[in-house]
A and B are shown apart, each in its own frame.
Chain A
Amino acid sequence: MPTTTSRLGRDRGLQARMLLTLFLLGLLYAAFMAALFAAGAGAVTMALVAGAILALQYFTSDKIALASSGAKVVSPQEQPELHGLIDRLCVQADLPKPQVAIIDSSVPNAFAMGRSPKHATVAASTAILDLLSPAELEGVIAHELSHVANRDVALMTLASFFASIASMIIQFGFFFGGGQQDDEDGPGFFAVIVAAMMVYAISFVLMRALSRYREYAADRGAAELTGRPSALASALLRISGQIEQAPQLDLRQAHAELNAFYIVPIGLKRGLGNLFSTHPPMEDRIARLQAMESSLQRAAPLRDDVPVGV
């Protein structure tokens, strides 16, 4: 099928950094698996049990996130404008219609969850619906739908899979290691726990980097879907202004963070290093959206990227 390239251009640097991060994670996890096998059958069994628990979580993650965020699924009759907006963006993005949910909250936010486009939910808080203009809301929802199209929940779950196994081994390993006074197993388990700790620490930084790249990619996706990068930038400015004024936020929302992709993180303080944050700094996101807008405006008279004979 013939395709058209985006007028916003491609961010090949971003794609390269994403692939590099994924490659490093894969390398790290392969080494971790090798360490587990080297440590013997006990470690492998533990990893398998942890994996089974995680797989179960993965398949129920959307329901857990939906329940823990207090989001309520709404019908087209209850929210005709929001549904209409999402319908149109789904046509543009060639996505199946996700479930639409509303969170009764005074914090302006929106998020997407679900492991695949067929099992996706897009939620918006009542505050964000009140706060944003239709074009800004369209930008925010397009950002969330881009997370769905990019399969970010599945990707991040997969990327965190071994990190979670490592974390479980650290927790239960001490427990088992303390219980078993077997001389054969003792040093083996100790080595496994040290390996798990290292895997956990390194993967934590890599995962955060990956998460930030996914945010940039979703911003770009939203700009491509709506053709209005500045509307999303304006929405981000407006939301961040509100969030800084907002008092202490509902902590339950922070728990669902890995399963849900928020438009802006809540409860994260600026002092926290860039290395450890899931979202890129707001100024940086806005600067990139501005660059997209100017390339859109500048690209206008260019016609050489147009496919011939469509």
Chain B
Amino acid sequence: MGLLDSVLGRRRAAAPAADRLFAITTAYIDLQARSGVCSAGAAAIVFQPLATGDFEQLVTSVEAVVRSTGEETASSVERSTDAFGYHWMIIRDDDVDDLAVGINAVSDELATGGYADRVLCAVFAFADAQGAPLYLIYNYKRGTWYPFAPAGGAAQERDTERELRLRALLGDGLPVEPEVSRWFPLWGIPI
């Protein structure tokens, strides 16, 4: 945000750049080749619901579209709400390409409806060689990815070592968020 935007209190929401989201597909091929990290077969898009009539309509129709295209690729769609009131549209499919296509279809539809700024992030679930969950989170506002590895257990602790290792493995294939302070955790991920 520029200084003039600050002074005038203006806010400009960056629109998602699709190629940055799709970078996950090639990055995943590299990741698989170099390490034991594999897809957990699920991805989700997280957004704030709006209490307007057309928003609910839009989300329902998006879900129907993703579900019908998912029939060809044998993916499934479900929706849930988290403790913060955000909605999760979860797509399950063994193929990361299909997941990226599905997630992009949802964010695209929301953007076309004028709701691009309501999207929080997209989450792709992975598991390392030991089977511990690893996530790659896509920040739509910045068009960057960052790793998130919950340490497990009841406490909200993240395993920074595993996150940094994952980033090192990703190399240049993925636009990774350069500021580590922007690697916002996302607790209670339902995938």
Contact = CB atoms under 8 A, between A and B. Distances in A.
Interface of A: 1-4, 6-7, 10, 14-15, 18-19, 22, 76-77, 80-81, 84-85, 87-88, 90-94, 96-97, 134-135, 138, 146, 149-151, 155, 214, 217-218, 220-221, 224-228, 230, 296-297, 299-303, 305-307, 310
B51 interface: yes
Contacts of A149: 1, 6, 11
A228 B51 contact: yes
23 contacts: A2-B14, A3-B13, A4-B114, A6-B11, A6-B13, A6-B117, A18-B7, A85-B84, A87-B185, A92-B117, A94-B14, A135-B85, A149-B11, A151-B3, A218-B9, A221-B9, A228-B50, A228-B51, A299-B114, A300-B53, A300-B55, A301-B54, A306-B112
A4 B85 CA distance: 24
Contact of A76 (B11, B14, B51, B156): B156
Contact of B120 (A88, A214, A224): A88
Given A80-B156, A84-B187, A96-B179, A297 B15 contact: no
Contacts of A2: 14-15
B9 A220 contact: yes
Interface string B102-143: 000000100111111110110000000000000000010110
B15 A91 contact: no
The secondary structure that dominates the B interface is loop
Contacts of B22: none
Interface in B1-52: 1, 3, 6-17, 48, 50-52
A1 B14 contact: yes
Interface size class of B (residues with CB under 8 A): 35 or more
Contacts of A227: 48, 50, 117-118
Given A96-B182, A150-B6, A3 B15 contact: yes
A76 B9 CA distance: 29
A216 B156 CA distance: 36
Contacts of B85: 134-135, 138
Interface string B168-190: 00000000000101101111000
Nearest to A81: B83
Contacts of B118: 227
Contacts of B10: 10, 15
Closest 6 CB pairs of A and B: A217-B9, A300-B54, A87-B184, A3-B12, A300-B52, A2-B15
A18 B54 CA distance: 34
A273 B8 CA distance: 26
Contact of B11 (A15, A135, A221, A302): A221
A97 B184 contact: yes
A80 B150 CA distance: 14
Contact of B116 (A84, A155, A220, A310): A310
A80 B83 CA distance: 12
Contacts of A224: 11, 117
B141 A92 contact: yes
